[in-house]
Structure 1
Amino acid sequence: MPLHVPPAPAPALRSVLTALNSPTAVREAPTPALRAAQDPAVPDLPLPVHVLDRITPDGISQTRLAGWRFLIRSGEQAVAAAETQLTADGWAFSHFFEGPYVTSTERALRQAETLSQPYQPRLLSLPGLYMLTLWLHGDLSDDGAGGHPDGADLLIPLAPAPPGIPAHVPHRVADLLPVLTHRVTPVRLLGTPA
């Protein structure tokens, strides 16, 4: 089933295009694959990046939109990614990067395209676990900027995933959230006040 990729804000896309056309921005980026690309580099598949700041004891998660990430393609493959962030002046280019999350995101998106239900893809970052997931949101009418993970949504942990959480295995939010809640809940030491 095709994914319903939400459109990125136009200023976010323009900022990435401007950075790609800037020899200085590309040359100074820590992205050898982007600098060595033979074909023109173009932004593709904009995904809103949400951050899961906390999980409450009843499992309701609080998320916030942190930016938009674009895969940067050269020819048929993604060679890097570009991040944008919201500033006081609007959406602005933040940085280019490469590494395992670029290829892992591409792999998870291919996995998601084989599912029978349509989804809106997003990225969900869990900084407390050093974890990034492809969040497949079931509300296709959403603009990508808001919302929180619904129990029926799917999360596909990207590689590298934390120990004990298999990468590239889709999980319903309702099934994975209790595991994540347990992982991020601080353990009280004996003798410390509650």
Structure 2
Amino acid sequence: MKPNASGQALLESVLVIAVTGVLLIGLIPPLLQSLQQRYHQGQHLQLQLQQAPLRSAFNLPSLDRDWLSEVSGLNVTDGNTSVTTDAAYPTATVLHPIWSILSVQRDFSLPTTNRSLAGWSATEDTPPTLFFSALSDDWSPHTQAALQTRPQALTSTQMLQTIGFHHIQELMAWLPFAREFAPNNLRFGHVDIDVVPEKKLCQQRDCS
């Protein structure tokens, strides 16, 4: 390689390194600031999402962003935050026709409007660029009575009990050939959570 060619290559290398260094010095701080801002936005949305079901149940507004930023230390000063509750997810869409029929029953309590959405967008007119969603009610029974009433409400014959069909059964049971139709014999929608007789349960300490 000629001396002038090696000198040109060295000069080009120094120039590339210098330009790359300037670009890195200029781009890293804004990039780091953008990542930190996105992290704060994500944490802010998680806090909003956590309280969304309770606030929706009592018709309360969303958490104030300025107050939340002051208390939690999250720096979220710009953009638009939206928190909503809906039933626009596939399972709720499929179950809606069935649920609309079963909801006439007295003890039916499996709501499909249990999805909470929290999103952040630059302005109110732009779609959210960061959002989270969560189901607030997984339909798990919270009381001992719900272990019986929830599956009972899913049985189609429970509707007969709701409309008072047991009174007709009492009249039918007066007939000699229809005694098995008595309400204590033919129990529509009956669910027994203790199907194993108590005397059959093992009472010993070391039984297996």
What's the TM-score, normalizing by structure 1?
Answer: 0.22
Larger radius of gyration: 2
Report which of the two has the higher share of helix. Answer: 2
What's the TM-score, normalizing by structure 2?
Answer: 0.21
Question: Greater RCO between the two (CA within 8 Å, min separation 6)?
Answer: 1
